[in-house]
């Protein structure tokens, strides 16, 4: 599906809460949201707003709403469901940004209507929304220099290296051009 067929109004960056997880590969969705907001440098944007009794914070830009769940990754569906209700939008109008431990760093895919492939945050969203008909931006986090293939749990919660930060910034820039 090409860019013109996408009607994405809301970007939801998945990750875990707390300083322990801030700069880890598993938090790539939240890191992307911060990058997107910073790169656009819209004057009216100052900070994220946390609606009362909601499990997410958001930032309103001129063309998109950026959302960061205030839940752990595996409960992302609760925040996503609340956000969809709060903004009165359909699942087809959201893009969920998350890590993909099967793709190498430097790669990404924008997909629609796909199964979770074992990603617990994405599965939580599917379970809460009762659909998989939403956009996903899958960002590769697998190290390219593996001698022996690691299990995802061996590297997803590690801090992002300086080299990978640089590579990911390039990936983020390419994704933004596609949105």
Return the CATH number at 11.
Answer: 3.40.50.1470
Lookup result for tokens 């997410």: 56
Please give the helix or strand (H or E) that residue 81 lies within, else none: helix 76-87
Strands (DSSP E) found in the chain: 10-13, 56-60, 65-69, 94-104, 108-112, 135-142
Q: Contact at 8 Å (CB) between 138 and 109?
A: yes
Total residues found in the chain within this entry: 179
Question: What tens-digit pLDDT sequence spans the chain (179 residues)?
Answer: 455 567 899 999 999 999 999 999 999 999 999 999 888 765 555 688 899 999 999 998 888 999 999 999 999 999 999 999 999 999 999 999 999 999 999 999 999 999 999 999 999 999 999 999 999 999 999 988 777 777 888 888 999 999 999 999 999 999 999 98
* Domain enclosing residue 41, as ranges: 3-178
Active site residues: 26
Please give the helix or strand (H or E) that residue 127 lies within, else none: helix 120-129
Number of domains into which the chain is organized: 1
Q: Determine if the pTM surpasses 0.95.
A: no
Q: Contact at 8 Å (CB) between 108 and 137?
A: yes
β-bridge mates for residue 65, sequence order: 10, 60
């Amino acid at each position: 599906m090409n860019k013109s067929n996408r009607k994405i109004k809301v970007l939801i960056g998945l990750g875990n809460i707390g300083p322990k997880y801030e700069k880890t590969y598993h938090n790539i969705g939240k890191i992307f949201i911060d990058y997107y907001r910073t790169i656009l440098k819209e004057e009216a944007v100052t900070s994220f707003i946390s609606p009362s009794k909601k499990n997410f914070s958001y930032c309103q830009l001129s063309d998109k709403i950026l959302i960061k769940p205030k839940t752990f990754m595996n409960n992302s569906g609760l925040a996503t469901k609340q956000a969809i209700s709060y903004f009165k939008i359909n699942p087809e109008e959201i893009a969920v940004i998350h890590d993909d431990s099967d793709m190498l760093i430097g790669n990404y895919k924008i997909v629609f209507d796909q199964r979770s492939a074992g990603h617990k945050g994405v599965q939580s969203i599917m379970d809460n929304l009762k659909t998989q008909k939403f956009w996903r931006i899958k960002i590769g986090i697998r190290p390219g220099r593996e001698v022996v293939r690691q299990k995802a749990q061996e590297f997803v919660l590690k801090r992002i290296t300086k080299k990978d930060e640089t590579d990911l910034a390039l990936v983020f820039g390419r994704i933004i051009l596609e949105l």
